[in-house]
């Protein structure tokens, strides 16, 4: 008989530890029983005793549910690293976030966090650039990177798209990116869009004397993503964007490997994440997913805004940013576990969704300057258009960094003044 609950067990440096929130089913006798079933199903066990279970397997590979908090409904399970194919994140998730979500002993289950042991961490490349590398590439040393997303999301042809990008760069923004559902459309083909937009980038760099970045969305089948990445590189692009959850974990690992010897930054859009993360009792937290994305090697990752139109409270966003930017994480008993990243570089957090220049004081206050701030409607929705909207964003950043209020800055900045008039409620 394998004993999956051992409250005296102390995890060692070779264990992969997972923290879950568990809401047991009404007819499940106890949280401890639910915990046992989760540990069993995610490792070596099944629903009945089996003759093929040897004493050796049980001793070497049984996990230990070593922490149960009935009040907060939180459990922690330590798994031997031998249970995992270390460099196969899909297999790891199939174990710790697989069948267990469908078990009858639970009403709800939420994977809160994962501690990856040093051996597994060593099998991953992590981000190629990291925050320092991105700052070196973009030549923006202290302030946040400022960007926009071309709007409307879809509908513009390649020339119209490039013109919107050029207007944003001319207004002072560093970055323009595709939206999550723009790939290669009948009205806007990927290759031509990349060619025209990077020509516009070149013109903007010459005109402004600043580095400008375009992030084309290469999301597709893996073979096509590789082709599209090559198209970007061949045209002088230095960034690609990918919808990380819709393309899948294994595709991301393969793409990261493919781009290892190519000088291109990976921008990770989290489209579909809320299907896993939004229900606070069920699914997987953005914190855990962000940790996985740092390990795989995403250079930039959407993590939330605190303000704006997208769901995500302050505590959640700040902790998520912490696990992808710091070299060593000290956890707690409720939302985070310890993590040492070794040589894995940091991932640059991205705030995007319903932002306008008026949000900038709060963005800087809560999230700081090691960020990408992206303004879609908050740029193109300016009363006088994209270029003026970009100027208003840059003016708002300047105001905050100078220690001035937006209203004071607006006295000498008509673009910001018009933005305040439109969006101040």
Rounded Cα gap, residues 421 and 416, in angstroms: 9
Asked if 294 and 129 count as a contact pair (C-beta separation under 8 A), the reply is no
Asked if 196 and 418 count as a contact pair (C-beta separation under 8 A), the reply is no
Phi, psi (5° rounding) for residue 243? -85, 100
Neighbours of 91 (CB within 10 A): 15
Rounded Cα gap, residues 67 and 35, in angstroms: 9
Rounded Cα gap, residues 294 and 324, in angstroms: 6
Angstrom CA distances, 115 to 91, 118, 144, stand at: 16, 9, 30
Q: 321: Cβ–Cβ under 8 A, 6 or more apart, which residues?
A: 303, 349, 367
Catalytic residues, by residue number, are 151, 269
Asked if 335 and 112 count as a contact pair (C-beta separation under 8 A), the reply is yes
Asked if 395 and 413 count as a contact pair (C-beta separation under 8 A), the reply is yes
Q: Which residues are paired to 76 by β-bridges?
A: 19, 67
């Amino acid at each position: 008989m394998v004993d999956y609950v051992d409250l005296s067990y102390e995890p060692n440096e070779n264990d992969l530890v997972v923290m879950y929130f568990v809401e047991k089913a009404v007819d499940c006798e106890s949280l401890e029983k639910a915990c046992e079933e989760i540990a069993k199903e995610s490792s070596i066990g099944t629903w009945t005793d089996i003759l093929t279970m040897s004493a050796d397997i049980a001793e070497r590979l049984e996990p230990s549910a070593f922490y149960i908090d009935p009040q907060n409904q939180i459990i922690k399970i330590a798994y031997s690293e031998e249970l995992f194919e270390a460099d196969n994140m899909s297999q790891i998730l199939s174990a710790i976030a697989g069948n267990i979500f469908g078990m009858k002993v639970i009403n709800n289950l939420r994977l809160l966090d994962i501690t990856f042991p040093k051996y597994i961490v060593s099998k991953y490349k992590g981000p190629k650039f990291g925050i320092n590398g991105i700052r070196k590439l973009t030549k923006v040393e202290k302030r946040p990177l400022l960007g926009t997303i071309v709007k409307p999301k879809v509908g513009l042809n390649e020339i119209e798209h490039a013109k919107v990008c050029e207007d944003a760069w001319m207004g002072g923004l560093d970055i323009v990116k595709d939206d999550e559902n723009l790939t290669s459309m009948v009205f806007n083909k990927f290759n031509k869009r990349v060619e025209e937009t990077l020509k516009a980038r070149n013109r903007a760099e010459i005109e402004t004397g600043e580095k400008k970045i375009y992030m084309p969305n290469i999301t597709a089948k893996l073979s096509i993503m590789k082709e599209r990445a090559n198209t970007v590189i061949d045209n002088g692009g230095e960034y690609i964007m990918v919808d990380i959850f819709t393309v899948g974990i294994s595709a991301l690992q393969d793409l990261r490997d493919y781009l290892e010897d190519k000088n291109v930054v990976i921008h990770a859009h989290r489209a579909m994440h809320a299907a896993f993360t939004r229900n606070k009792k069920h699914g997987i937290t953005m914190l855990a997913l962000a940790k996985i994305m740092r390990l795989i090697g995403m250079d930039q990752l959407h993590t939330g805004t605190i303000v704006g139109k997208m769901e995500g409270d302050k505590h959640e966003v700040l902790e998520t940013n912490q696990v992808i930017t710091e070299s060593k994480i000290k956890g707690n008993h409720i939302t985070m576990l310890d993590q040492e990243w070794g040589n894995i570089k940091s991932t640059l957090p991205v705030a995007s969704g319903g932002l306008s220049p008026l949000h900038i004081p709060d963005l800087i206050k809560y999230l700081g300057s090691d960020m990408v701030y992206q303004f879609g409607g908050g740029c193109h929705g300016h009363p006088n258009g994209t270029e003026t909207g970009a100027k208003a964003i840059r003016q708002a950043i300047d105001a905050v960094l100078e220690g001035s209020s937006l209203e004071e800055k607006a006295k000498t900045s008509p673009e910001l003044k018009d933005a305040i008039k439109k969006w101040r409620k």
